[in-house]
Amino acid sequence: MSATSPRKWKFSRRKLLIGLGVTGGALAVGLPLSLPFARLKIAGMLDSGSAPAGTMPKDPFVWFEVTPQNRVRLYLPKAEMGQGVHTALAQIAAEELRPAWEQLEVLNASTERGFDMGTMLVAGSAVVSSLYNPLRAAGAALRLMLEEEGARQLGVAPAAVTAGGGVVAVAAEPSKLLTFGQIVGAKQGAWVASKLEPQLRQPAQFEFIGKPMPRVDFAAKITGAALYGFDMRLPNMAYGAVARAPRMGAKLLSAAPGTARSQPGVVAVVATTEFAGVAAETRAQAVAALDALQLQWSEGDVVEQAAMEAMVTVQPGAGTVLQSAGSVTAPLAAANTLRAEYRTPFAAHAHLEPQAALAHVLPDKVQVWCSTQSAGSLRADVAKAVGRKAAQVEVTAAYLGGSFGRKLNVDVALDAARLSAAALRPVHVSYTRAEEFQHGFFRPPTHHVLQGALDGAGRIVAMSHAQASGNVFPALVGQLLGADFGAYRGGLLRYNIPNRQVTSQPVTLPVPTGSWRGLGLLANVFAVESFMDELALAAGSDALEFRLQHLPEGELGERFKAVLLAAAELAGWGGALPAGRARGLACSMDAGTVVAQVAEVSVQGARVQVQRFTSAVDCGVLVNPNIAAAQTEGSIMMGISSTLLEEITFSGGQAQATNFDRYPLLRLADAPLVETVFLQGSDVPHGMGEPPLGPVAAAVANAVFALTGQRLRSLPLKLA
């Protein structure tokens, strides 16, 4: 069996654009719809995670290969970057195929496997949720085929056999069986899909889903056998180095090889105004030879911190309406109103493994191995870079040593392909740590203006949230739709407020900005949930009770109520604390997952220390509790790090950070005790990679206010 050949769906930003028709500079959002209506519809889709996610192959042989040696190979279109999706997806597939767990071998599918560009994208916390139904269906379809062929080989009717543990056995005589491998080895002729409708297991029957199965990549990572983009090697491979602009926005005015070709170890030189680089026998030789190129750069852009902060400022009356109910004008003009402004800064991805790629340009084929979240779209980019057709390019994702959105765009894959074409050899290119900090793209800064009005009973009668942000999506998207929906992720108001309005204002900055874990989630929830505490204080209410009073009706309100009460109980909300400590609360929903969190903080001098952090998470079906817990803990640590420490600043046309010494991250010694409880308010899985990040900054800021009386409205938090 050589494998050459839903109830709720999730999406990512690329799939959203593809689904809307935002390609090639054209927009098709369903002509009968007005643009304002379309914006509101898209905002709601983003909010709930209900848009489609690529076209899933129905042929089980695209997903699976069963060998005569009784191995079950699962080819996955989603890259593994530490989030545990290969294990979770293996559990989903195994649930319906029913092999023995030890039989499973999980492999990264290359772009030649048969998956489309949208299906190969890893983004939006959508991997497990988008593949949950398709993988179960594919596994069940293959199981039926194995059962029917196994029954034929055993000489019984198909109804007499059942599959489980990697074998097909006669139900009335369990010792009469064939392994999956034996069935495949004895199969004559082509496989034909069963005419029967596969029956999926009910939750009470689950053997793999919901269990803490060991990670399928654990042994490989412990022993060093797992290959990351940085590890990729081929015989006769050269190493590449590329000339990078000395300042933001600088362009090559002229380029010549100079004496680079005569430098030690050099095997190829490319020097044009579009690209300048060197391939050599060693990485050090390639880097050294760059100095021999004759390059003239333009001055570049004026990149000044204060000027960019001024650009990212909410302008009165500007922006696109993304959420609207009632009218906020009259209530917000009344006396009993609050107004507050919040800001978040530029930030780096700071992933451990700098981006790296290996390319081999052959006469009739181009092969690329790299750490990428988007192998499908990278295929087209590589083809364009070396003048080939996309069908001639094969991209295989390696393991990613972190990404957080940065490896959606793998520049070095294009560099490696260009140098390989010149060298006529495989070429490996990687970023240095300084290049990663200074020549990537950044989380955009944001500015938020919130206003709220309370009635005599202390209930919110009107609330508005106006936000400005650097681009997350390409600027063209914001121009066409009037809003950058990536930047506004997490910005809609969840509460039952009769008069509410949310507006967004995209800003194009002179430095590259883009995706960062959760896109705008952390920033928007920081602003909204901090302001909810400010309103609660003005109303004379407890922060928890105030939120409970304003929850919407229906399923969403019930899910929020459940996580708020669970997080509060776990944290001991309202209970006594040691002197010098205080708690803060926040909640949010993202990718269909509802999260409530409580931070417990202390202060030493001007330094905030998070001592304990509790979370209640409703992500629907929990495929693997250990992986879900790890994702929650990772989001919390990254959120605390961003809340207390992380900030990119610019001067002289460059980012000031070149390594971790100038971009501090949360250290192990400062990590809090983390406790998490999971609830199930839905019968399908929802996102886990980013949703727990949402409330972190607000929970910490609210705790700091409770302890010190200082309302800190800018990240990173800095006490006076």
Q: What is the pLDDT of residues 514-538, one digit of tens each?
A: 999 999 999 999 999 999 999 999 9
Q: Is the pLDDT of residue 71 over 50?
A: yes
**Of 370, 395, 430, which one is at a domain's C-terminal end?**
430
- Model pTM score: 0.92
For residue 108, tell me if it sits in a domain. Answer: yes
Structural domain of 702: 312-347+442-708
Q: What is the pLDDT of residues 130-143, one digit of tens each?
A: 999 999 999 999 99
Q: Are residues 404 and 497 in the same domain?
A: no
For residue 463, tell me if it sits in a domain. Answer: yes
Q: What is the average per-residue pLDDT within 178-184? A: 97
For residue 186, tell me if it sits in a domain. Answer: yes
Q: What is the mean pLDDT of the chain?
A: 92
Quote the CA–CA distance of 569 and 474 in Å, as a whole number. 43
Cα distances (angstroms) measured from residue 200 to each of 19, 135, 136, 193: 29, 11, 7, 16
**Of 172, 195, 219, which one is at a domain's C-terminal end?**
219
Q: Is 611 exposed, middle or buried (0-12, 13-18, 19+ CB in 10 A)?
A: middle
Spatial strand order in the sheet of 161-164: 161-164, 167-170, 173-179
Q: Is 480 exposed, middle or buried (0-12, 13-18, 19+ CB in 10 A)?
A: middle
Q: Are residues 446 and 416 in the same domain?
A: no
Q: Are residues 366 and 460 in the same domain?
A: no
Chain centroid to CA 440: how far? 17
Q: Are 135 and 200 in contact (CB under 8 A)?
A: no
**Of 368, 403, 430, which one is at a domain's C-terminal end?**
430
Q: Is the pLDDT of residue 28 over 80?
A: no
Q: Are residues 363 and 343 in the same domain?
A: no
For residue 319, tell me if it sits in a domain. Answer: yes
Q: Is the pLDDT of residue 368 over 70?
A: yes
- DSSP string covering 224-245, please? T-S-BGGG---TT-EEEEE---
The pLDDT, as a whole number, for residue 527 is 99
For residue 630, tell me if it sits in a domain. Answer: yes
For residue 305, tell me if it sits in a domain. Answer: no
Q: Are residues 343 and 397 in the same domain?
A: no
Q: Are residues 286 and 339 in the same domain?
A: no
Query: How many Cβ atoms from other residues are within 10 Å of residue 256's Cβ?
Result: 13
- CATH code where residue 146 lies: 3.30.365.10
Q: Is the pLDDT of residue 211 over 80?
A: yes
- DSSP string covering 648-666, please? --EETTEES-SSGGGS---
Q: Are residues 153 and 239 in the same domain?
A: no
In residues, how long is the chain?
720
Q: 44: pLDDT confidence band, cut at 50, 70 and 90?
A: low
Q: Which residue has the higher pLDDT, 1 or 674?
A: 674
- Please report, rounded to a whole number, the percentage of residues in the chain having pLDDT higher than 90: 85
Q: Are 508 and 681 in contact (CB under 8 A)?
A: no
Helix (H) or strand (E) holding 108: strand 104-108
The pLDDT, as a whole number, for residue 265 is 98
The pLDDT, as a whole number, for residue 483 is 80
The contacts of residue 59 (CB under 8 Å, 6+ apart) are: 5, 114, 138
Q: Is the pLDDT of residue 50 over 70?
A: no
Q: What is the average per-residue pLDDT within 251-264? A: 98
For residue 394, tell me if it sits in a domain. Answer: yes
Q: Is the pLDDT of residue 291 over 70?
A: yes
Q: Are residues 342 and 361 in the same domain?
A: no
- Tokens for 32, please give them: 């009968």
The pLDDT, as a whole number, for residue 31 is 30
Q: Are residues 449 and 422 in the same domain?
A: no
Look at the alpha carbons of 117, 635, 6, 159 in this order and tell me if their dihedral is positive or negative.
Answer: positive
Q: Are residues 281 and 323 in the same domain?
A: no
Q: Are residues 572 and 635 in the same domain?
A: yes
Residue 716 preceded by cis peptide, ω within 30: yes
Q: What is the average per-residue pLDDT within 678-697? A: 96
Q: Are residues 191 and 105 in the same domain?
A: yes
For residue 202, tell me if it sits in a domain. Answer: yes
Q: Is the pLDDT of residue 442 over 80?
A: yes
The total of structural domains in the chain comes to 3
The pLDDT, as a whole number, for residue 485 is 85
The pLDDT, as a whole number, for residue 35 is 54
